[in-house]
Amino acid sequence: MAAHDALSLTQDQFRQCLRISLGSLIGFGFAHLTQWSTGLFFCVYPVLLLGMVPRFSTHASLQFVAASLVNVVEVYVLAGMFGDQPLLMTPLAWSLFAIRFYCMASGRFFLFGANGLVSSSVLFHFASYPDMDFGGMAKANVTASLLTVAVAWLLCGLFPPKQAAAPPSPPQKSPEQLRHQVLLGSTVATVSFLVFQIFDLRDSLSAQVTTLLMLFPMTYAGALQYGRARAVGVLLGCNAALLIQLLLYDWYSNWLLVGPLYWVALMFFARRHVREGVSGVGFAGATTIAVIFGQYLLPQQDAIYQTLYRFSSITVAVMVALTVIYIVHKMLNLLPATRYTVS
């Protein structure tokens, strides 16, 4: 019996699992061997791209790379000019988030908006700290995007989808629904940005990213469902990462030993992700593994503390983000022009 049959997956699902896990493994190996200071992008971007795009295309690759290039230029210009003026930076950040959510809500440029939302928020946040190597982070962001696209093309050539499928058509939404989603997403993303700035939460990158990923459904009901799945996925991902470090102990810095275990963990979560068909527990677990291995590659770091801190911070972030999403959702529904109704 074939491997994918034994795992209760279709042939295309099994091939997508291989693309996700091998793509992130290549990124992890590249960041480790070249000793980039920010390995996070190299591990996470393949999971985001290959997890959200089952069938890769030139249109998707151009969106992904363009988002990173545009984000770096925006952050360099705006943060350099208005970084010390929060009263100006806040509406500028809101405007940029609104453009991203319009791309996501309209459908055709969802990947550009999604990648741009995550990376621009992270880059804007860290650009405000003078002791951070923003130049190195920006270079890592662009390099990781280019490497991810190249790896995606390679893996799609090695493990191509067997069944051709028509590209998804853009969702049909009323003007009120479109306004609601854009205003909801951009407002909550701005609140998240301000909270992490005001409370100096530079060590809570995973929690910040979680608040943004929760906005991908662009509805309160979708955020509520994803928030629950995200919490479960993060718990499983943290435990898997901790188990790997405990098994390897002093050999945790040996890539030849940690690489195969990292790939096995990614295959487990990728399998659940393709079976769920949406960004749920499997996707959350895969991104959690990628973030932990991308940020904490050194054996002398306290894995137990990092794991517990990560899970607790994400749990708090999910609860707070859901509260803000609910409040903004209710306020927008008070106005007919921004009322979200489901037919």
Among 256, 249, 223, smallest CA distance to 304 is for 249
pTM of the predicted model as reported, rounded to 2 decimal places:
0.85
Which range among 78-92, 99-113, 298-312 shows the weakest confidence by mean pLDDT? Answer: 298-312
Looking at residue 34, its pLDDT comes to 84
Looking at residue 309, its pLDDT comes to 74
Looking at residue 301, its pLDDT comes to 55
User: Tell me: the pLDDT tens digits for 214-245?
Assistant: 888 888 888 888 888 888 888 898 888 888 88
Give the CA angle between residues 74, 144, 317 to the nearest 5°.
70
User: Tell me: the pLDDT tens digits for 26-63?
Assistant: 999 998 888 877 778 899 999 999 998 877 888 889 99
